[in-house]
């Protein structure tokens, strides 16, 4: 019998954060099929995974479905986990994959062309409207919520392929190679999507960032 993975030997309460967990003990428990180990895995890593699924799906019910699928997939594959990545990182990737599978099964919404959200250039390559310097005070307390709302609305407004690309790269902090793998495109295509999504988000932010209110 392995030592309980839920309990850190030095503690008397169950681990609730990854840094409190003895990952090796947890893995032993999972591979031995212990119920307590599976519950610990969900309690410790489920919150972060659910947050990622929420960001991708934008819908609580779908996010919870994706999380369940992610854990069932992880339980099936636990013997293949080789420990090259941290357990939390491995689970995060699985959650993103489950959320993307769920997203693909949904009906696509009507989308705006990304080109309409990007800056315009003249025939000789100059900005039609020259970019202005952003105010340093735009991220201060008075405008913080307004800026956050604009960012979230700006990301939601992106065409799905671009929204997912920027979420995976800049929010979930995956590498370009991982983004490409999740999206089923080349690394170069993934980079272009991320870059255009950032430029479109920048355009959405520009009015509030260049003209701060007093």
Q: Work out the angle between the directed axes of helices 87-105 and 176-183 (0-180°, nearest 10).
A: 40
94 and 73 Cβ atoms separated by less than 8 Å: yes
Site membership for other proteins, residue 151 (CB under 8 A): yes
Nearer to other proteins, 9 or 123 (CB): 123
CA distance 204 to 195: 14
Site membership for other proteins, residue 166 (CB under 8 A): yes
* Shortest spacing between CB 85 and other proteins, in angstroms: 20
CA distance 6 to 52: 24
Nearer to other proteins, 157 or 195 (CB): 195
CA distance 124 to 96: 41
Site membership for other proteins, residue 110 (CB under 8 A): no
3-state secondary structure of 172: coil
Site membership for other proteins, residue 188 (CB under 8 A): no
Site membership for other proteins, residue 171 (CB under 8 A): yes
Query: Of 11, 17, 86, 104, which one interacts with other proteins (CB under 8 A)?
Result: 17
50 and 64 Cβ atoms separated by less than 8 Å: yes
Q: Tell me which residues in 33-92 interact with other proteins (CB under 8 A).
A: 33, 35, 38-39, 42-43, 46-48, 50-51, 54-55, 64, 67-68, 71-72, 75-76
């Amino acid at each position: 019998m392995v030592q309980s993975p839920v309990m850190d030997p030095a503690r008397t309460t169950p681990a609730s954060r990854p840094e409190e967990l003895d990952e090796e003990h947890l893995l032993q428990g999972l591979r031995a099929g212990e119920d307590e180990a599976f519950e610990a895995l969900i309690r410790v890593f489920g919150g972060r995974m659910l947050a990622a699924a929420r960001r991708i799906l934008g819908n609580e019910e779908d996010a919870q479905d994706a999380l369940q699928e992610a854990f069932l997939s992880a339980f099936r594959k636990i013997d293949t986990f080789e420990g090259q990545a941290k357990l939390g990182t491995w689970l995060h990737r699985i959650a993103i994959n489950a959320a993307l599978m769920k997203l693909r099964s949904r009906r696509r919404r009507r989308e705006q062309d990304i080109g309409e959200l990007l800056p315009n250039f003249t025939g000789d390559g100059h900005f039609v409207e020259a970019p202005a310097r952003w105010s340093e005070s735009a991220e201060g307390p008075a405008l913080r919520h307004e800026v956050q709302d604009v960012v979230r609305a700006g990301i939601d407004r992106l065409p799905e392929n671009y929204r997912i690309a920027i979420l995976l790269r800049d929010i979930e902090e995956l590498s370009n190679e991982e983004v490409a793998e999740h999206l089923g495109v080349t690394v170069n295509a993934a980079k272009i999507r991320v870059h255009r999504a950032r430029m479109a988000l920048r355009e959405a932010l520009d009015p509030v960032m260049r003209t701060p209110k007093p």
